[in-house]
Amino acid sequence: MKILLVGEYREGQLQGCTCELLGFARQMKAEPVMFLVGDAADLPAFDGRLYLAEAGRYGEFSPEVHQQLVLEVVEKESPDLVVLSHSSYGWDLAPRLAAALEAAQISEAVAVADGAFEVPACNAKLRRTVRPATARGVVTLQAGAFDPAPAGGTPEVQTVDSAVEAAGAVEFLGYEAAEQAGVDLGKAEVIVSAGRGIGKPENIGMIADLAKALGGEYGASRPVVDAGWADHDRQVGSTGQTVAPRLYMACGISGAVQHLMGMKKSDFIVAVNSDRDAPIGEVADVLVVADLKEFVPAFMTTIQG
């Protein structure tokens, strides 16, 4: 199978999701061929072909132009799949490419097996398995669903030289960060999170105290937020914040996939759970099998003493 990956570059930097695209190609056992609007000073490290279109010339975010550039590479490479990240860049570009190529478009793939893709359905409560009904497919990958390929190697760069010009319907003005309300967990080096296992809202206090004692912030799983025990800006997961602190402590959190998506890139994960078989144990570096109501106060006493 031939795959063309469409890498991402933003505000002068290669985006991390580009490594997840490479991880996908690796999982598919396909030779990585990538198209990137970027800069020669910040290239992805892999062994394979890289079609590089200079961002300075073609614009960092110019869907009409980028669509034409990708189509030119598709013409040369004739891939079976064109693969992008499920990001604002991918949402914009993937449907344009699919329409131009008359190819099936599959959004937000989370897994792949035998040429079929698993995608979330029913507000992510179920997964649907789909296969492109056309010879060629355009697929976007959910962030975090595919392990990034380890960086290594030097791509064989082919500079894209195209006469394509902006059609003028869309003019890119710049990026504007969304206003950050409340706490920004993304900046915390330590996060102690409360799950449904805390049992009652009053127990948020001991989780917050432990987070403070460790010099960090407290987070929460979705049921804790839905119950009104913590504000939404504390929620970690697919519909909350994505975090990667040096230490993540999950207290009374089972480890549902939607929660893991938000924290599995943490450097060191400690889980406190009364159930030794809780799925969080699969990603935890240390699993403390204990009642958190006993463990957390005892741990506090130890670190303060």
Ligand X SMILES: Cc1cc2nc3c(=O)[nH]c(=O)nc-3n(C[C@H](O)[C@H](O)[C@H](O)COP(=O)(O)OP(=O)(O)OC[C@H]3O[C@@H](n4cnc5c(N)ncnc54)[C@H](O)[C@@H]3O)c2cc1C
Q: Which is nearer to ligand X, 112 or 230 (CB)?
A: 230
Q: Which is nearer to ligand X, 155 or 219 (CB)?
A: 219
Residues with Cβ within 8 Å of 266's Cβ and at least 6 positions away in sequence, in order, are: 191, 243, 244, 245, 246, 247, 248
In whole angstroms, the minimum distance from the beta carbon of 62 to ligand X comes to 32
In whole angstroms, the minimum distance from the beta carbon of 105 to ligand X comes to 21
Q: Which is nearer to ligand X, 162 or 274 (CB)?
A: 274
What distance in Å separates the CA atoms of residue 53 and residue 38, rounded to the nearest whole number? 6
In whole angstroms, the minimum distance from the beta carbon of 221 to ligand X comes to 3
In whole angstroms, the minimum distance from the beta carbon of 126 to ligand X comes to 9
In whole angstroms, the minimum distance from the beta carbon of 261 to ligand X comes to 7
In whole angstroms, the minimum distance from the beta carbon of 206 to ligand X comes to 12
Q: Which is nearer to ligand X, 66 or 234 (CB)?
A: 234
Q: Which is nearer to ligand X, 70 or 278 (CB)?
A: 278
Cα 26–Cα 29–Cα 30 angle in degrees, nearest 5: 90
Residue with tokens 């504390």: 234
Buried b (16+ CB within 10 A) or exposed e, 6-43: bbbbbeeebbebbbbbbbbbbebebebbbbbbbbeeeb
What distance in Å separates the CA atoms of residue 117 and residue 107, rounded to the nearest whole number? 9
Give the binding site for ligand X (CB under 6 A).
Answer: 123-125, 195-197, 221-223, 235-240, 252-254, 256, 258-259, 262, 272-275, 278, 291-293
Instruction: Report the candidate in 218, 228, 186, 237 with the shortest Cα–Cα distance to residue 296.
Output: 218
Q: Which is nearer to ligand X, 63 or 262 (CB)?
A: 262
